[in-house]
Amino acid sequence: DEKGNIIGVVLVFHDIIERYEAEKKLQESEKRYRSLYEQALSGLYRSRISDGKILLANKIVADMLGYESVEELTKEFKFSEAYSPERRLELIRILEQEGTLTDFEIEVKKKDGGKIDLIISAKIYPEDGYIEGAMIDITERKHLEHQVRQAQKMESIGTLAGGIAHDFNNLLMGIQGYTSLILNDLNPGEDHYDKLKNIEKQVKRGAELSAQLLGFARGGKYDVKPTHINKLLKKSAEMFGRTKKEITIREKYAPDLWTVKVDRGQIEQVFLNLFINAWQAMPDAGDIYLETSNVVFSKSYTKPHEVKPGKYVRISVTDTGIGMDKETASRVFDPFFTTKGVGRGTGLGLASAYGIIKNHGGMIHVYSEKGQGSTFNIYLPAIDAKAEPISFHDEEEVKTGNEEAILLVDDEAIILDVGKEILDVLGYKVFLASGGNEAIEIYKENKDKIALVILDMVMPGMGGGETYKSLKSINPDIKVMLSSGYNLGGEAAEIMKQGVNDFIQKPFTMTKLSHKIRNILEKK
């Protein structure tokens, strides 16, 4: 009223049920969104456009980038400091032009300095100054893709290398064969004897180079035996140590080491390649550390390496040399890759070692740092068997025959010519066949006379495998020695299991051939 007394109250009511319901739904939606955000399988984040500082993220992002918590991540991490500026500018450019981007790959530095490969999908909000996106860790996938590409590359080059080695060995066989024939007619001290022995040495060097190619080509393993690797490693180290007095070899062998089944000649070749590599990395002398141990690998560890899980024997070869940077170490098993000067290396030694170990169902890894030396770890599958003794044979004397008949089968005319002359000198009667069909016809007519067939594995038309099966059907007790410029592997290895008596790899000496023949013919 006029005196200021309250004489009534006017109440105004607004119906806010709809607003209340909307706010409640919004809160529930935000709660669900936050739950989805936190429980998402990929990393979700919001970052500032200007410097890439992460403003909001779920725990997965923090874990990926090596941070203890999201709070720590949002305080410290900026994309602008974590990966290539050029790559970041490319990401911003695409977002500004398109508004969104998908499957954009970047390599990001984590808190501890390590690197991680990420794939990003994002959307830009320029008016608000931020980017929202999702990230997935593809580091392991990239690693597996690299391994697959590496394996495919090695397989392709290996096939080429194996073919070259095969043809090269056939050429060497001709040189070695005629050299052996001439030497057989000479005594030490006579004219040209020393020159011919030097030719033999060069053939041997050529055969060693070819063996490196075949080892890289994973061309098979022939003489596999249960072996105590400590004894083989010790023997190889002693032989190498005698020639390199400036190197100190330190050994630590596990006394209870498991047995492995290996081609001893090939594994010795691997050891020698690693020793030579270590020696060349220590121009001013140094130490080589050898160590063996037993290890067990789970399926999750062995799957990327395409080997079986289970028991393995580890052989570690460490040097105190100059070491390698990351790029060099990643290429160390590539064929023909070498850091040595012209004339000091073929680039085949470690590639050969890789092929041989892989062919034995094993793994070989390298760890190295510049200036800190290198460590090569070999893992060979263990077996439950007793190791056979390691023995040495003296095969200097030629063993002659007793006029037994031998059928020599080869598609190379030079091998037939020199082979016939060698077998004649050794005291055998010789039948010659230049292919599988001809061999079968000759054997059918002379099966009661022929005591042994020396059969080439790789021939046009009817190959060695098919020829052997046909000969075996004619005479189940036939005696056959396979001969090839390849190592024994694949089809040849399978045929060996079917009853072939022995295998000889070209180029071979008259002495070696004479021993192989007598071993077969005199075996009851």
Tokens 């290198």 locate to 374
CA-to-CA separations, 163 to 157, 227, 228, 332, 436, in angstroms, rounded: 10, 30, 33, 23, 21
230-244 average pLDDT score: 86
433 C-beta neighbours (distance < 10 Å), count: 23
Question: What CA–CA distance (Å, rounded) separates 312 from 227?
Answer: 13
Q: Give the residue from 392, 425, 451 where a domain finishes.
A: 392
426 and 475 part of one domain = yes
116 in a domain, yes or no?
Answer: yes
Domain membership of residue 371 (yes or no) is yes
What pTM does this model have? 0.50
Highest mean pLDDT among 106-120, 191-205, 499-513: 106-120
Q: 512 in a domain, yes or no?
A: yes
Give the containing element (helix H, strand E) for 317. strand 310-319
Indicate whether 270 and 388 sit together in one domain.
yes
pLDDT confidence of residue 342? 41
Is residue 209 included in any domain, yes or no? no
**Residue where the block lists tokens 């399988």:** 41
Q: Are residues 444 and 376 in the same domain?
A: no
DSSP for residue 79: G
pLDDT 10s digits, 277-334: 898 888 888 999 999 999 998 877 777 667 888 999 999 999 999 888 888 887 787 7
Choice between 148 and 287, residue whose per-residue pLDDT is larger: 287
**CB within 8 A of 187, min separation 6: which ones?**
193
- Confidence at 506, pLDDT banded by 50, 70, 90: confident
Confidence of residue 188 (pLDDT cuts 50, 70, 90): confident
The number of angstroms, rounded, from the C-alpha of 268 to the middle of its chain's C-alpha atoms is: 17
Q: What's the pLDDT score for residue 36? A: 57
Backbone φ and ψ of 217, nearest 5°: -70, -5
Picking from 156, 164, 166, 155, the residue whose alpha carbon sits closest to that of residue 486 is: 166
Residue in 72, 40, 33, 75 with CA at minimum distance from that of residue 58? 40
Do 444 and 315 share a domain, yes or no? no
Same domain? 282 vs 352: yes
My answer on whether 430 and 505 are in the same domain is yes
Tokens matching residue 259 = 């047995």
Q: What is the pLDDT of residue 33?
A: 54
* Average pLDDT, integer, range 259-288: 87
Mean pLDDT score across all residues of the chain? 83
Give the C-alpha separation, 149 to 290, whole Å. 32
pLDDT over threshold 50, residue 343: no
Angle between helices 349-359 and 139-184 (to 10 degrees): 100
**Is the domain of 65 the same as that of 116?**
yes
Residue 214 clears pLDDT 80, i.e. is over it = no
User: Is the residue at 475 inside a domain?
Assistant: yes
Q: What's the rounded Cα separation, in Å, for the pair 481 and 495? A: 11
Residue 124: give its domain's CATH number. Answer: 3.30.450.20
**C-alpha span between 226 and 383 (Å, rounded):** 8
pLDDT exceeds 60 at position 129? yes
Amino acid at 174: G
Burial of residue 236 (CB within 10 Å: 0-12, 13-18, 19+) is: buried
Of the candidates 336, 367, 392, which is a domain's last residue?
Answer: 392
Environment class of 280 (CB within 10 Å of its CB; exposed 0-12, middle 13-18, buried 19+): middle
- Domain co-membership, 369 together with 432: no
CA distances from residue 412 to 167, 174, 256 in whole angstroms, order as listed: 10, 10, 49
Final residue of a structural domain among 122, 137, 152? 137
**Residue 231 within a domain:** yes
Number of Cβ atoms within 10 Å of the Cβ of 318: 20
Residue 49 lies in a domain: yes
Q: Which two tokens stand for residue 136?
A: 């997935």
Helix, coil or strand: residue 522: coil
Stretch 112-117: mean pLDDT: 90
Looking at the fold, whether 128 and 225 belong to one and the same domain comes out as no
Task: Mention every residue, 6+ apart, whose C-beta is less than 8 A from residue 57.
Answer: 43, 44, 45, 46, 70, 73, 74
- The reply to whether 204 falls in a domain is no
CA distance 159 to 157: 5
Per the CB < 8 A criterion, the answer to whether 450 and 443 are in contact is yes
In angstroms, the CA 60 to CA 67 distance is 10
The reply to whether 348 and 423 lie within a common domain is: no
Q: Is the pLDDT of residue 26 over 70?
A: no
Q: What is the pLDDT of residue 445?
A: 93
Q: Are residues 226 and 339 part of one domain?
A: yes
Domain count, the chain: 3
Residue 474 has pLDDT above 60, yes or no: yes
DSSP conformational letter for 307:
-
| Predicted local confidence at residue 207, as pLDDT | 75
Q: What residue numbers bound the domain in which 111 lies?
A: 28-137
Residue 377 has pLDDT above 90, yes or no: yes
Instruction: Report percent pLDDT > 70 for the chain.
Output: 83
Residue 155 has pLDDT above 70, yes or no: no
pLDDT digits (tens, 9 = 90+) for 479-498: 999 888 766 555 667 777 78
Q: Same domain for 382 and 256? A: yes
Whole-number pLDDT of residue 27: 66
CATH of the domain at 305: 3.30.565.10
Give me the mean pLDDT over the 91-116 stretch. Answer: 92
Residue 476: pLDDT band by 50, 70, 90 thresholds? Answer: very high
